[in-house]
Chain A
Amino acid sequence: EVRLLESGGGLVQPGGSLRLSCAVSGFTFSSDAMTWVRQAPGEGLEWVSVISGSGTSTYYADSVKGRFTISRDTSKNTLYLQMNNLRAEDTAVYYCAKNKESDVWSYIDCWGQGTLVTVSS
């Protein structure tokens, strides 16, 4: 069974940093691209970033480009999202998601439960 478990969310001040982690199990981690999607309170889904199965290709939403960095550690079966210079508008539940294939042009087929990030002073 595929499992995705996010952690690292919490309350952070504007301008601060946070690193989200997503521990995965139940599939060959290096075989599939991985995605972060966020959802502000009461709002819709916003795609944030994706990383290929090999880790060599990454893409970002314009709203986070230059502030967020996606990465993966195959030895730890863990996906990361380093978030710097956080803003109030980054407040959201952040979902880790698994793609169906190794390349980034593939659909999401499994989601984690999400972790809440709140940016506030």
Chain B
Amino acid sequence: DIVMTQSPDSLAVSLGERATIICKSSQSVLHTSGNKNYLAWFQQKPGQPPKLLIYWASTRESGVPDRFSGSGSGTDFTLTISSLQAEDVAAYYCQQYYNSPFTFGPGTKVDIK
């Protein structure tokens, strides 16, 4: 099974500042034939279901603000919120869809400092 890890477990960032979340997979999720990383990022606000932010590691879902960006390849990935807004307080999860079981990372909670 592919094990997903995230760091940090939680972080507090001032409004307007950058937040960076790291996600690592225990094996590569890069499909070489299509040169795509099978990695997605989700945002979950309290009391709500998750919401897709990023897929293929760096493609922003339609309607997602451009302050959210994803990067990385192979086993190391990053979700960046360039300028944190109050509405970004949430838990963030990465997930690999390269191999079953399609595992999630443990999550990172983002709050306002």
Contact = CB atoms under 8 A, between A and B. Distances in A.
Decide whether A and B assemble into one complex: yes
B55 A100 contact: yes
Interface of A is mostly: strand
B51 interface: yes
B55 A112 contact: no
Interface string B70-113: 00000000000000000000010101011011111111000000
A50 B51 contact: no
Contacts of A112: 49
Given A45-B107, A109-B52, A111-B51, A59 B93 contact: no
Interface in B24-68: 38, 40, 42, 44, 49-52, 55-56, 61
Given A95-B49, A111-B50, A46 B104 contact: yes
Contacts, number: 62
B1 to A, nearest CB: 8
Interface residues of A, number: 24
Nearest to A45: B104
Interface centre among A45, A47, A62, A95 (most CB of B within 10 A): A45
A76 B98 CA distance: 30
B72 to A, nearest CB: 15
B97 A106 contact: yes
A107 interface: yes
Given A59-B100, A105-B98, A108-B95, 4 more contacts: A44-B104, A44-B106, A62-B101, A109-B55
Interface of A: 35, 37, 44-47, 50, 59-62, 95, 100, 104-114
Interface of B: 1, 38, 40, 42, 44, 49-52, 55-56, 61, 91, 93, 95, 97-98, 100-107
